[in-house]
Every structure is written in structure tokens, then in C-alpha cells.
Amino acid sequence: MPRPLPTWLIAALSLLVGFAVADLTGVRPLGGLVLFGAALWCGLAWMRQRGLPVALGLVAVYLVAFAGSHPLGKAIGSWPAVLVVSALVGAIAWWTIEGGRRRVGTA
């Protein structure tokens, strides 16, 4: 049975895909649906893996990164900003979920 995609990857890619959908279609709410669905899916997975406080914290990171990409985009361009915040969200989620497993010795 194939291993499911890690949540850090889903979180990071969803920011890219959500922006791409909004950018290519010109329908921002459609991109927002991608972000909402991914944040919900990841949040539920994070809650199962590490508990509600960690899940809420990571969803907050996701939302702050999304919001922060807008002013950052004015400074460095839209796509570069989305790439930066996607990498940041992915790294924080990986460190929190996967790094946490390694710290406590669980698989």
C-alpha cells in the first residue's frame, strides 16, 4: 500500500496550487477553495498526529503565510512571494510534525 503524501508537502503545494488556480482562472474564490480544503485536510491530520494545539498553531502559520504573501508579493512579485511562503510553511510543518517524531523517537 503506498504511503500517503506528507502533510508538510500538501500544505506547501496547496499554497502554490491555490495561487495558480486563482491566477490562471481569474477567479480568486476558486483558489480560496483550494486553500480552504487543504488547510482543513492538513489541520485534521495534524490534530490526529500531534493534538489540537499543534494543529491550530500550524493552521495559523498557514493562514499568516497566505496573508503575508500579499504584501511580500508587492515587494518581490507574486510568484516569488508564493514560492517563499510555500517553502516556509512546508519547512515549519515538516519540522513540527516530522522533526517532532524524530525528537521523541516515534515512527
Find the domain containing 40 and state its range. Answer: 7-104
Predicted confidence at residue 10, as pLDDT, reads 97
Task: Establish if 89 belongs to a structural domain.
Answer: yes
21-36 confidence digits (pLDDT tens): 999 999 999 999 999 9
Q: Tens digits of per-residue pLDDT, 70-91? A: 999 999 999 999 999 999 999 9
Please state the domain count of the chain. Answer: 1
Q: Is residue 2 part of a domain?
A: no
The answer for residues whose C-beta is within 8 angstroms of residue 37's C-beta and 6 or more apart is: 14
First CA to last CA distance, the chain? 17
Q: What is the pTM of this model?
A: 0.87
Q: Is residue 1 part of a domain?
A: no
Q: Is 5 left (phi over 0), alpha (psi -120 to 50) or beta?
A: beta
Assess if residue 57 is contained within a domain: yes
